[in-house]
């Protein structure tokens, strides 16, 4: 075999980093630095403005701007002479990203990635935006001309720029300040009003809440389902089930390999932005599990299996950690890995397979996808979607054989880049999804994967001695970053694993995580949770994240997780901070509910005494596992499932097994008749 030595004309300091995103830029002619004290000191010593560029490794428009500008020798030389240039992976440092994204959104009215911001040497922003083109177009200056304007300002009006940065920083502090407002009652009407606003935005033709571009944002349909149950709203339930069906049939769903892309650029869920994110797929598992429990439709359960089997096959480290994302691009072209041409399929498939597959997937000669970001888009590409779902029984074997051939050929293509860093935050979301799916579907492999994942996190990212959870692990090395999202998402996932197994060791770890979370992030003066600890030295602000977007906020997840843990353990020291967080955000929940849809899940849980399913007996017994599955097989979003040993609340410890495994459905100190019959337990829960 011939070994080809790859040589690079440029290598910058990012070559020493672990982030796949930073490593993508390690050979740009830009003299990049990582976000660290040395870079800040250089900016101060040389009295240069900082050019801060934030993105992530599977970000399509980040690749475009790199290709157009950051690989340009002239741009690289100009940045080196006049700026200290810093690259940040927003997935590793969402706390840094949040500060500067808030600045750009507040000054320009929009945000996104790549995020490009100019800072004073003391890290205060004074100008920013997102993607800048290489030439003047659509009213935007070219990137190089923008750099020249910034340099002119810095030379000639530096004092004004610094004063403006101070003023903008003060405004940023006001924007991000979160103090509890008095007299903000939290009632079921708060949730109902929020869901009515979502229903008003429902797309009755295509499903989903809102128009193009269309994000799944599972926290919204999950909330609508909760409210449908609380208020007996059949229309709301229908909206969500329609949305699930439309998404599963759409191009946003990888019809061959499983999993979902991040969003669709159209209203029909047809053309995706092809990158696949771990956090999206984890939340979509939860949505399709709820849809399955409500509808009984086996297609919803099949979608859950489809997502999780994709994750186990393509997104899992051999030792159990879950990788972060897969790219939209391969060989420099968006969607090339996933799309098909009419001619390609006519040569691959038999005539009968071809007829069935092209009808089912809507394959046409002109295609349905064009990569508008590429100067030479590939012709005739088709994104696969289910256009004709009704297939004759006799044709099903033909469709199966066609899909098998297509998947085999796709496996020989050059795959999109895999971002193989392992984040405690997103792993917590997938941990919970795997654990719950194992319980709901009685699929042992998902429970095993969840147990293995938690073992990985505890070995690689948890320091037992100091009770510290770090955020990122890659290639044998962890970072030193402390983030609310890491603790909150892991806490939520571990609680779900406990409920799926009733292993007391998992409950003990959940209590350790919750105690550490409260010590590092809770604000006892005003309520709510800071995104970063008080001793974080590289941030100009401490922020309480209050936005549930594609990812839920740490505040929302922490609040619901602590409420659930308090109900399981009976500990007021977990319940009271969660209630204080609800009060802190009460005004926002009432006035801008779309911003905190996931926090409304916590409010929904808090408004009622939760239904508790207590299962007593030998957890290894078949009868115990059957009751445990039955407890998870009924849609009851505000129930908790617990055992009778370990750190559970005192009343549960008084309940005993009657001859064999026994289930008690309790509210407060009152329980229905104990049962060891699966059907009776399900009836009691209904």
Residues 6 or more apart from 525 whose CB is under 8 A from it?
A: none
For the record, the structure tokens of 250 come out as: 């759409």
Q: H/E element holding 208?
A: none
Residue pLDDT, tens place only, 231-240? 999 999 999 9
Residue 3's pLDDT is what?
Answer: 40
Task: Return the pLDDT at 7.
Answer: 55
Domain 13-176 has CATH 1.10.3720.10: no
Q: Which residues pair with 214 in a beta bridge?
A: 264
Over residues 434-485, the pLDDT tens digits come to 999 999 999 999 999 999 999 999 999 999 999 999 999 999 999 999 999 9
Element counts in the chain: helices (H) and strands (E): 26, 21
Q: Is the pLDDT of residue 1 over 60?
A: no
**Host H or E run for residue 308:** helix 298-314
CA of residue 398 relative to chain centroid, distance: 36
**Which of 112, 89, 110, 95 shows the shortest CA–CA distance to 18?**
89
Portion of the chain with pLDDT greater than 90, in percent: 85
Edge-to-edge strand ranges of the sheet holding 422-423: 422-423, 472-474, 477-478
Residue 31 structure tokens: 């003299």
Q: Give dist(CA 88, CA 34) in Å, integer.
A: 7
Residues 6 or more apart from 143 whose CB is under 8 A from it? 65, 68, 69, 75, 132, 133, 134
Given a contact cutoff of 8 angstroms between Cβ atoms, the answer to whether 561 and 491 are in contact is yes
Structural domain boundaries of the chain?
13-176, 329-415, 612-685
| Cβ-based neighbours of 70, under 8 Å, separated by 6 or more | 25, 28, 29, 30, 53, 76
521-545 pLDDT per residue, tens: 999 999 999 999 999 999 999 999 9
Do residues 483 and 471 touch, judged by C-beta distance below 8 A?
yes
CA–CA separation, 523 and 546 (whole Å):
14
Between CA 74 and CA 71 the distance in angstroms is 9
- Residues contacting 648, CB < 8 A, separation 6+: 504, 507, 568, 569, 570, 614, 642
The model's pLDDT over 497-507, given as tens digits with 9 standing for 90+, comes to 999 999 999 99
- Which tokens sit at 565? 């843990």
Whole-number Å distance between alpha carbons of 583 and 605: 14
Distances (CA, A) of 515 to 53, 510, 564, 648: 35, 9, 14, 16
Tokens in use for 233?
């709203």
Residue tagged 């790219």 (tokens): 327
- 462 phi and psi angles, rounded to 5 deg: -110, 130
Name the helix (H) or strand (E) containing 397: helix 396-410
408 token code pair: 């085999």
Q: Within a 10 A sphere around the Cβ of 506, how many other Cβ atoms?
A: 23
The structure tokens listed for 312 are: 């186990």
pLDDT digits (tens, 9 = 90+) for 54-88: 999 998 889 999 999 999 999 999 999 999 999 99
Q: Which residue from 279, 381, 364, 267 is spatially nearest to 330, judged by alpha carbons?
A: 381
pTM: 0.94
Residue with tokens 């830009």: 30
Q: Are 656 and 616 in contact (CB under 8 A)?
A: yes
Q: What is the DSSP string of 22-46?
A: HHHTTTSSS-EEESSHHHHHHHHHH
C-alpha atoms less than 13 angstroms from C-alpha of 374 in its C-beta half-sphere: 17
pLDDT tens for each residue of 368-408: 999 887 888 899 999 999 999 888 888 999 999 999 999 99
List pLDDT tens digits, range 341-364.
999 999 999 999 999 999 999 999
Q: Decide if 601 contacts 578 (C-beta within 8 A).
A: no
How confident is the model at residue 183, as a pLDDT? Answer: 64
- 551 Ramachandran zone, left/alpha/beta (phi>0; psi -120 to 50): beta
Distances (CA, A) of 129 to 28, 35, 100, 107, 113: 21, 19, 10, 9, 9
| Residue 112 CB partners (closer than 8 Å, separation 6+) | 61, 130, 131
pLDDT at 180: 63
State mean pLDDT over 646-659.
Answer: 93
In 350-463, beta strands by DSSP E:
418-419, 422-423, 462-463
Instruction: For residue range 574-625, list pLDDT tens digits in order.
Output: 999 999 999 999 999 998 988 999 999 999 999 999 999 999 999 888 999 9
> In the predicted model, is pLDDT for residue 310 greater than 60?
yes
Q: Phi/psi of residue 535, each to 5°?
A: -90, 10
CB 51 within 8 A of CB 86: yes
* 426-430: average pLDDT: 98
Predicted confidence (pLDDT) per residue in 163-218, tens digit: 998 998 888 888 777 766 666 789 999 999 999 999 999 999 999 999 999 999 99
Is there a contact between 360 and 387 (Cβ–Cβ < 8 Å)?
yes
Residue 72 DSSP code: -
By the 8 A CB rule, do 52 and 117 touch?
Answer: yes
Give the DSSP H or E segment for 55.
strand 50-55
């Amino acid at each position: 075999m011939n070994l080809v030595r790859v040589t690079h004309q440029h290598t910058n300091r990012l070559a020493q980093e672990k982030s796949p995103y930073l490593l993508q830029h390690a050979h740009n002619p830009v003299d990049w630095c990582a976000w660290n004290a040395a870079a800040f000191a250089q900016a101060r010593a040389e009295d240069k403005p900082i050019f801060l560029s934030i993105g992530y490794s599977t970000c399509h428009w980040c690749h475009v701007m790199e290709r157009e500008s950051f690989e340009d020798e002239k741009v690289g030389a100009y940045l080196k002479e006049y700026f200290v240039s810093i690259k940040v992976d927003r997935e590793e440092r969402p706390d840094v990203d949040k500060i500067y994204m808030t600045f750009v959104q507040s000054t320009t009215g929009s945000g996104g990635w790549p995020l490009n911001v100019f800072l004073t040497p003391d890290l205060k922003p004074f100008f920013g935006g997102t993607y800048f083109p290489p030439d003047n177009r659509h009213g935007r200056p070219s990137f190089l001309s923008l750099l020249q304007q910034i340099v002119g300002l810095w030379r000639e009006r530096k004092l004004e720029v610094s004063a403006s940065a101070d003023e903008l920083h003060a405004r940023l502090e006001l924007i991000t300040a979160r103090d509890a407002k008095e007299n903000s009652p939290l009632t079921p009407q708060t949730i109902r009003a929020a869901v009515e606003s979502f229903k008003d935005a429902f797309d009755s033709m295509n499903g989903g809440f809102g128009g193009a571009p269309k994000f799944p944002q599972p926290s919204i349909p999950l909330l609508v389902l909760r409210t449908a149950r609380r208020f007996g709203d059949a229309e709301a339930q229908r909206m969500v089930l329609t949305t699930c069906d439309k998404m599963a049939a759409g191009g946003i769903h990888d019809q061959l390999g499983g999993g979902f892309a991040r969003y669709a650029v159209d209203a029909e869920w047809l053309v995706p932005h092809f990158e696949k994110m771990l956090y999206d797929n984890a939340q979509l598992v939860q949505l399709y599990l709820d849809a399955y429990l409500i509808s009984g439709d086996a297609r919803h359960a099949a979608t859950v299996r489809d997502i999780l089997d994709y994750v186990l096959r393509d997104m899992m480290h051999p030792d159990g950690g879950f990788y972060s994302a897969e790219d939209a691009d391969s060989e420099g072209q968006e969607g090339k890995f996933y799309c098909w041409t009419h001619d390609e399929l006519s040569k691959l498939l038999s005539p009968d397979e071809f007829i069935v597959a092209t009808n089912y997937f809507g394959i046409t000669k002109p295609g349905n996808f064009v990569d508008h970001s590429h100067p030479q888009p590939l012709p005739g590409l088709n994104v696969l979607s289910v256009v004709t779902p009704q297939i004759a029984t006799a044709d099903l074997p033909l469709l199966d054989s066609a899909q098998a051939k297509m998947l085999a050929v796709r496996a020989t293509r050059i795959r999109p880049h895999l971002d193989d860093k392992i984040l405690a935050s997103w792993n917590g979301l997938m941990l919970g999804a795997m654990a719950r799916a194992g319980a709901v579907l009685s699929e042992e492999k998902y429970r095993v994967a969840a147990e293995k994942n938690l073992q990985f996190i505890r070995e690689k990212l948890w320091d037992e001695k100091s009770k510290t959870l770090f955020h990122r692990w890659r290639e044998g090395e962890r970072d030193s970053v402390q983030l609310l999202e890491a603790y909150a998402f892991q806490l939520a996932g571990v609680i779900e694993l406990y409920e799926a197994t009733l292993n007391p060791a998992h409950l003990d770890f959940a209590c350790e995580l919750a105690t550490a979370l409260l010590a590092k992030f809770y604000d006892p003066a005003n309520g709510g949770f800071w995104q970063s600890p008080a001793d974080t030295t590289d941030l100009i602000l401490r922020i309480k994240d209050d936005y549930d977007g594609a990812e839920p906020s740490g505040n929302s997840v922490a609040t619901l997780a602590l409420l659930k843990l308090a109900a399981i353990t009976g500990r007021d020291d977990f319940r009271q901070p969660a209630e204080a967080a609800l009060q802190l955000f009460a005004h926002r929940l009432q006035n801008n509910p779309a911003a905190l849809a996931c926090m409304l899940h916590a409010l929904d849980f808090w408004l009622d005494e939760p239904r508790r399913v207590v299962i007593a007996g030998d957890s290894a017994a078949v009868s115990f596992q059957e009751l445990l599955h039955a407890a998870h097989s009924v849609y009851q979003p505000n129930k908790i499932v617990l055992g009778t040993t370990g750190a559970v609340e005192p009343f549960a410890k008084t309940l005993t097994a009657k001859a064999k495994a026994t289930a008690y459905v309790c509210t407060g100190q009152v329980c229905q008749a104990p049962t060891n019959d699966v059907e009776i337990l399900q009836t009691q829960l209904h």
